[in-house]
Amino acid sequence: MFEFVRGPLIWISFLIFIAGLLYQTFKFFNLSRKKELIFIDLPFNPEKPKSKGFFQRVGDWLVYLKKETVWRTHPLMMVLTWVFHISLFIIPIFLLGHNILLNEAWGISFCSFPEFISDLLTWIPFICGGIFLFRRIFLRRVRAITTGYDYLTLAITLAPFITGYLAYHQLAEYQTAIFLHILAGEVMFITIPFTKLGHMLFFFFYRFFIGSEYSFGRGSRTW
């Protein structure tokens, strides 16, 4: 069983992950459509506005961030959410153990954090996940919109980090812990395209392609 999980199942989960992303991308473009351009004949030729400099655009974005997003009402939650999502990407990519396996398997590797830094960074998902879980259990307004699906999604997200931490520190029987760690990572890979975990990737699709008040640009498509 262990050999299947660390061998064929890795490729199966990776192929399902890629196929799921392609399917969701096709679905996105199929459900959305290109916006129709509207031309208005003006009675005069207004002066073209001056283009804003980089720092001015950054300043406008910060003002928008403060007034129009969750930063205005829950700044701590916004910071925790950003830190949590960033840590989900950088910790697996720059983990020394993962890069050793990548180098052995395909001859490629990324720069790696020192082991004690990786060990400290692993606590970020634990702390953020614990706060998210606390809010869903004890805050009435959050609990009212929480279902078992939300708890399952959080568990799938945190499981690779918990099992990896247990395996690295040998807080559980190593063979069992590393088996669960690999399996948890594969489950996460498989579920990303088909659950709300996919927002980590499709967030950029929506922000760049769909025109709305939350877009990074004008957006070329609409629902």
Q: What is the pLDDT of residues 57-112, one digit of tens each?
A: 666 656 666 665 556 667 788 888 889 989 988 999 888 888 887 887 778 878 88
| Distance separating alpha carbons of residues 164 and 154, to the nearest angstrom | 16
Task: Tell me which residue has tokens 């064929």.
Answer: 8
Res. 54 pLDDT band, cuts 50 70 90: low
| Distance separating alpha carbons of residues 218 and 119, to the nearest angstrom | 41
pLDDT digits (tens, 9 = 90+) for 106-160: 788 788 888 888 888 999 999 999 999 999 999 999 999 999 999 999 999 999 9
Res. 213 pLDDT band, cuts 50 70 90: low
| Distance separating alpha carbons of residues 184 and 167, to the nearest angstrom | 13
The whole-model pTM stands at 0.78
| Distance separating alpha carbons of residues 221 and 206, to the nearest angstrom | 9
The overall average pLDDT reported for the chain is 82
We find that the CATH architecture of domain 59-222 is Up-down Bundle (1.20)
